[in-house]
Amino acid sequence: MQVIIKKTNLKKATNLMTIGLFVVGVLVVGSSLLTNNVSSPALRGEFGNAYSNVVNDSGEVVEVGIRAYEDEVEIVNGYKTKVWSYNGEIPGPEIRINLGDTLKVNFTNNLPDETTIHWHGVRVPNAMDGVPGVNQEPIAPGDSFVYEFTPKDAGTFWFHPHVRGAEQVERGLFGTLIVEDKISKEYSQDVVWILDDIRMTDTYQIDPNFVTGGDLMHDGRWGNVITVNGTINEQLEVRPGERIRLRLVNTSNGRVYLPSFGSLDSKIIAVDGMYVKEAFDLDNFEIAPGNRVDLDIKIPKDSSGKTFKVYDYYTRNNYQLAEIIVTGSTIETPDFDYPVNINIPDWTDAINNDVDISFKLNTFSGNGGMGMMGGINWAINNEVFPDNSDYILKYNEVNILEYKNESFRLHPMHLHGQFFKVISRNGVASNENYFRDTVLVHPNETVRVAIVPLDKGEWAHHCHILEHAESGMMNTIVVK
């Protein structure tokens, strides 16, 4: 890590100088050069305690063993696919704990490669975050490591390696961590659907050419086999009248999903693990790599015998993701308000505020040389990890970040250990009423986000198109 750049100060200094030049006689012009800043304490006040920094420890410790090893599983009927797995399962374990519990994971690496586990979206102590070169040494083949932490938020999270992720996640290393609160037990079913695509060969093996030039020129590796929970024909059985909580998790390297549940009443109640301010319809919600969406779905009481098909509409070839099959006798629909977080700040006034850090999403043009694997190197502010500047976020204050996508590709940007809220896209105020840990920045789009960092330390920050990250589109942000 090198020089610490604090863009605010530079920018403010220039503003002051400009104003200084105009100050005699042209006061009106001078003041119009000032941005319409809402004071940071006012914005901080609006945030209040929207998410808390303390959790009431239940005293319970949930201990889980995870071993990573090569195995064979059936993804496409009748074929055995060689994978890298957590505990021999694709997807890996679905760990469920209660908010306040401590999770202790005894992890053993029996892969032919070094690895780590990163707990995506979980506000863990920095040393548990699993990023080599930032938080921990890679775990060598044959070695073990204990991850132990008490999540501060209830919600839908997932975990995956942070070593050669483009290969290791594609080979099958991912699982989910569900932190339950009281309301999650009120649903008649609480189900996880992991959306993943795999690029397979003719014999249904995982194509061993990772991070190709083509993947880099495009939006990463998009597979030709699309799975839900590791199978191409996922079916969920429900009874008429049920109210289910369905947690969608996108673990794909590059693919974005735009799912539709047809005529089923499906409301988004949480994004990236955190409850939204007000439940809203799923329609047109893009689920980018890394994102999670929790749905509250009511199965009509008169639908016995029906099958609801769930399609993805992101690409031109719409395809069926899964089916919801209604059978059996009708049950009384659980009746309770949508679980929401009314404390989420609007921050509508923040749209004119100064940007604290600006990230240009671009390609690396240093050295004039060839990029990775005959493709290009993706970069942030023209720098590739680990040769990047350090960026600082002010602890417990409102910070404004800007992403300027200077390319024609997608970049779902993910910040570890923090949640942020989108305040504008291309200068237009955003109506997103929720926090995120990953935001999809579209080609040539400028997205501004506001964040109150409550977790100190150095955190990884990268594009969640894993090939882009692998080629260098990652840096670190220090919260202090």
Could you say whether residue 120 binds ligand C2O (CB under 6 A)? yes
Let me know: does 160 contact 169? Beta carbons within 8 Å: yes
DSSP H helical segments within 149-257, as ranges?
165-168, 213-217
Residue 460 interacts with which of ligand C2O, Cu ion, none, CB < 5 to 8 Å by class: ligand C2O
CA quadruple 380, 199, 230, 169: dihedral, nearest 10:
-30
Q: Beta strands 175-180 and 94-98: pairing type?
A: parallel
Sole binder of ligand C2O in the list 91, 92, 175, 290 (CB under 6 A): 290
DSSP H helical segments within 93-228, as ranges?
165-168, 213-217
Could you say whether residue 162 binds ligand C2O (CB under 6 A)? yes
Residue 162 interacts with which of Cu ion, ligand C2O, none, CB < 5 to 8 Å by class: ligand C2O
Buried-state track 85-121, b at ≥16 Cβ within 10 A, e below 16:
bbeeebbbbbbebbbbbbbebebbbebebbbbbbbbb
Where on the chain is the footprint of Cu ion (CB under 5 A)? Answer: 411, 463, 465, 468
| Contact string (CB under 6 A) for ligand C2O, positions 242-281, x = contact | ----------------------------------------
Give strand pairing partners of 320.
Answer: 311
Residue 414 interacts with which of Cu ion, ligand C2O, none, CB < 5 to 8 Å by class: ligand C2O
CA 327/CA 339 separation, integer angstroms: 27
Of the ranges 83-91, 214-222, 226-234, 458-466, which one interacts with ligand C2O (CB under 6 A)? 458-466
Of the ranges 67-75, 85-93, 176-184, 457-465, which one interacts with ligand C2O (CB under 6 A)? 457-465
CB of 173 to ligand C2O, least distance (A): 12
φ, ψ of residue 213 in degrees (nearest 5):
-55, -40
Residue 221 interacts with which of ligand C2O, Cu ion, none, CB < 5 to 8 Å by class: none
Sole binder of ligand C2O in the list 292, 421, 448, 462 (CB under 6 A): 462
Residue type, 86: Y
Could you say whether residue 118 binds ligand C2O (CB under 6 A)? yes
CB of 443 to Cu ion, least distance (A): 11
User: What are the helix and strand counts (H, E) for the chain?
Assistant: 6, 30
Residue 468 interacts with which of ligand C2O, Cu ion, none, CB < 5 to 8 Å by class: Cu ion
Which residue lies nearer to ligand C2O by CB, 169 or 357?
Answer: 169
Which residue lies nearer to Cu ion by CB, 123 or 468?
Answer: 468
Could you say whether residue 414 binds ligand C2O (CB under 6 A)? yes
Could you say whether residue 448 binds ligand C2O (CB under 6 A)? no
Let me know: does 440 contact 361? Beta carbons within 8 Å: no
Residue 290 interacts with which of Cu ion, ligand C2O, none, CB < 5 to 8 Å by class: ligand C2O
CA 367/CA 438 separation, integer angstroms: 30
CA 361/CA 422 separation, integer angstroms: 17
Nearest to 133 by CA among 390, 455, 442: 390
CB of 414 to Cu ion, least distance (A): 10
Q: Given the rule CB under 6 A, which residues bind ligand C2O? A: 118, 120, 160, 162, 290, 414, 416, 460, 462, 464
